Structure 1
Amino acid sequence: MTRPVWIDRARDAISAAESDYFERFSPPEEGGRQSSVLILFGPHDGGGEDVVLTERAHTLRSQPGDVSFPGGKREPSDATPADAALRETHEEVGIDPATVEVVAELPDIYLSPRQFVVTPVLGWWREPGPVDAVDPREVHRAVRAPLSHLLDPAARFTVTHPSGYRGPGFEFDGLFIWGFTAGLLSAVLDFGGLTVPWDRDVERPLPDSYRPGGRRDALTQTATEGRS
């Protein structure tokens, strides 16, 4: 299936260094631990497109239950960041790399508390299929979230935290999407020209279930640093 024009528009706008979001989170010269995530859009059965999201396993020591894009640490066998993103996506949710068209490797983003340099890989799922939590040690469940729902102003809000953090939020099928994932998704949709005006004054505090014992502090700190 031919990928929609807006994905190329997002790629071109971001590569033209028009994105303040990516500049704010650019890695330091000393770098960090390399990882990749796959922002995978595909044709939705009901029309339009959807995006693959995962709910991290609740037994993980790091960010259990968070919503994320499939991906993970780069291995020596990965020739490129895209290779790492495709391998991890196959291992986590069973998507065949041969069915994915890599559109672009986007600028690296630095998650300073964990010293991760994350390469977001923009992809188009030209031969879509079901997704599943193939590796339950890493993924509790996987979903294909329709953009028509995520772009609905009624489903959008600003996430707040007592630390002063403020950032975009989405909600879908019981998943609370915030932090790194929501910011990156929001930026791509903005640069693709899809975003529908929404009320940024509608605020929702980060639920307690996402921050017991400070286990979400890493993402909060990263987002706060990006605003300074």
Structure 2
Amino acid sequence: MLFTRDTDPALTFVTRAETLRNHAGQVALPGGAVDPGDIDATDTALREADEEIGLNRRSVSLLGQLPPLWVPASRFDVTTVVATWPGDATLAPMDPAETGSVERFTISELTDPANRVTARHPVGFTGPAFAMGEVFIWGLTAHLVDWVLDLAGWARHWDIDRVVDIPAQFLRD
């Protein structure tokens, strides 16, 4: 997770390319799988952020890592690296076959109760989500964001009983 250093920090997201086999068009955090040359989870995260959105690793200050999470759907252990950067450079998709766009949402937007919903998947899964205009953040990404908002003391009360179906455009797997 990459936050700017503003008084109302912004969190950086990517929209996955529409042409991808898995999670096409979904909003996610920059990241990916470990490559053989990667030293550790932080090195992987910084390499992936550079490859996906052009983030210069020298501008990043590491805050820490969340404990790894096992994701049954993908059968991956996911380690979330949390960092800040000045927010002074333009980030953009480096490979349009992988990344469709780069989005930033401020903490005040992410914690606004009007933007918080409980997402319902057609198979019955429910979980935290963020609905901001045309952007719908759900699944692992929303769980991780929700977790960090709580850990950082930024969370605000929201109506968890406001349940919405995940829009079809975000369910193409």
Letter in 1 for 2:33: K
Residue 5 (structure 2) aligned to one of 43, 68, 89:
43
Normalising to structure 1: TM-score of the pair?
0.72
Q: Rg: which structure is higher?
A: 1
Change in CA separation of 1:68 and 1:201 when aligned onto 2, cut-off 3 Å: same
1:178-189 correspondence to structure 2 within 5 Å: 178-189=138-149
Residue 12 (structure 2) aligned to one of 52, 63, 66:
52
Letter in 2 for 1:165: F
CA offset digits 1:71-101 (Å, max 9, x no partner): 1111111101100000000111011000001
CA contact (8 A) 1:100 1:127 kept: no
Change in CA separation of 1:208 and 1:61 when aligned onto 2, cut-off 3 Å: same
Residue 74 of structure 1 corresponds to which residue in structure 2?
A: 34
Letter in 2 for 1:91: E
Shift in Å at residue 128 of structure 1?
Answer: 3.5
CA contact (8 A) 2:119 2:128 kept: yes
| Distance in 1 separating the partners of 2:137 and 2:11 | 13
Shift in Å at residue 173 of structure 1?
Answer: 4.8
Shift in Å at residue 147 of structure 1?
Answer: 1.2
Aligned to 1:113, what secondary structure does the other structure show?
A: coil
Aligned-pair RMSD on alpha carbons?
A: 1.3
Aligned to 2:95, what secondary structure does the other structure show?
A: coil
Letter in 2 for 1:41: F
| Distance in 1 separating the partners of 2:119 and 2:142 | 10
CA offset digits 1:129-182 (Å, max 9, x no partner): 221111111100001111111111011111012322110110235211000000
| Distance in 2 separating the partners of 1:76 and 1:100 | 22
CA contact (8 A) 1:159 1:178 kept: yes
| Distance in 2 separating the partners of 1:211 and 1:69 | 17
Residue 134 of structure 2 corresponds to which residue in structure 1?
A: 174
CA contact (8 A) 2:107 2:154 kept: no
Q: Which has the higher helix share?
A: 1
| Distance in 2 separating the partners of 1:176 and 1:50 | 17
Letter in 2 for 1:93: I
Residue 116 (structure 1) aligned to one of 76, 81, 89:
76
Change in CA separation of 1:190 and 1:57 when aligned onto 2, cut-off 3 Å: same
CA contact (8 A) 2:136 2:170 kept: no
| Distance in 2 separating the partners of 1:172 and 1:134 | 24
